[in-house]
Structure 1
Amino acid sequence: MSMMSIRAATPRDREAIRLVEEHAFGQQAEAGLVDALVAEGDAVVELVAEEDGDVVGHILFSRLYIQNGGKTVPAVALAPLAVEPDFHGTGIGGALVREAHIRLKDAGETIAVVLGDPAYYGRFGYSHERAAGFESDYQCDALQALAWGEAPETGKLVYASAFGTALAA
């Protein structure tokens, strides 16, 4: 019986991460986003899931800022979360989210934002109601937030520059 493990991503994982992203999404955009976020130093928490020594899952939280009046508050954006298609439904994605949340809270982060399926991310405490007060180019029902402490409920979400570059490509 094999054992899945989760650990921090390392530079030697870059190619395996790229393949997981491409397989999971069926395109290169998310892999390009990951490469750009890491290259620009915007990664806050990046984890991989391994099964029998192979990377089969990946999650990245990058730096995001909430501009609220004259204040700028650091936050994080979950994007992307990817699991090899052969491992969908095995709990790897959920394990990556839970472990990343522990690390983010331990590091003092207070709020995370995700653009994704409300039914999936709602299981981890994300809600659109928590994100509804934010001004964002991505504002819709799929924009959700999860707060672990004192964090703004309104303001403008300012994503890392890689989001504009990768998503425009």
Structure 2
Amino acid sequence: MDVLIRKEHSADVTAISAVNEEAFGRADEANLVDLLRNSSAFVPELSLVAETNGAIVGHVLFTKIKIIDSFNHRFESLALAPIAVRSSFQRKGIGAALIQAGLNKAREIGYLSVIVLGHETYYPKFGFQPASRWNIQPPFDVPDEAFMAVELVECGLKQVSGIVVYAKEFEAV
């Protein structure tokens, strides 16, 4: 199966919504993507789709976040969320390809790190480790092992610590 990973186009919006609704079994994540697409957190180069035979079968979104320390220093990072693959295409490496392409693109355009709230056995294969390693905390109560960060460049989180502040659009989910 040939899969093309590419930046989303405006014509993909409906298909991206359908992928997210099917993957999550509800409209919340699809609505979140739409809200984020129209926010200052949106990075057009980091909304990627997986396409096979002309059909969108997967989507990943990375958006800007801040990490704010106790001295009110603000550090820019990215959130990986959501990642969605149509159910009939899951467990075929499409999600992993989307994530890896997104991490590579984020590094290429100058981002230093990414934060994810996700499964503690899946994301470490991309280099994610508990964010607490850098004294980076979530803004809500989640298990330490599920809140992770990855440095996109060596020492990308050096001297970065604090609480993650997501785009306000995340509050809709």
Q: TM-score, normalised by structure 2?
A: 0.89
Give me the whole-angstrom Cα distance separating, in 2, the residues matched to 1:16 and 1:53: 11
User: Is the CA contact (8 Å cut-off) linking 2:49 and 2:60 kept in structure 1?
Assistant: yes
Q: 1:71 aligns with which of 70, 73, 77?
A: 73
Deviations 1:84-138, CA, capped at 9 Å, x for gaps: 0000111000000111111000111011000010111111111115566223223
What is the 5 A alignment of 1:2-151?
A: 2-44=1-43, 45-68=46-69, 69-130=71-132, 133-138=135-140, 139-140=142-143, 141-149=145-153, 150-151=156-157
> One-letter code of the match for 1:148?
L
User: Is the CA contact (8 Å cut-off) linking 2:60 and 2:98 kept in structure 1?
Assistant: yes
User: Is the CA contact (8 Å cut-off) linking 1:3 and 1:51 kept in structure 2?
Assistant: yes
User: Is the CA contact (8 Å cut-off) linking 1:83 and 1:92 kept in structure 2?
Assistant: yes
Q: Which moved more, 1:121-130 or 1:5-14?
A: 121-130
Q: 2:166 aligns with which of 151, 159, 169?
A: 159
Give ranges in structure 1 of 5+ residues lacking alignment. none
User: Is the CA contact (8 Å cut-off) linking 2:131 and 2:147 kept in structure 1?
Assistant: no
SS of 1:108's partner is: coil
Give ranges in structure 2 of 5+ residues lacking alignment. none
User: Is the CA contact (8 Å cut-off) linking 1:131 and 1:153 kept in structure 2?
Assistant: no
User: Is the CA contact (8 Å cut-off) linking 2:103 and 2:152 kept in structure 1?
Assistant: no
Cα distance 1:10–1:131, how it changes in 2: closer, same or farther (>3 A)? farther
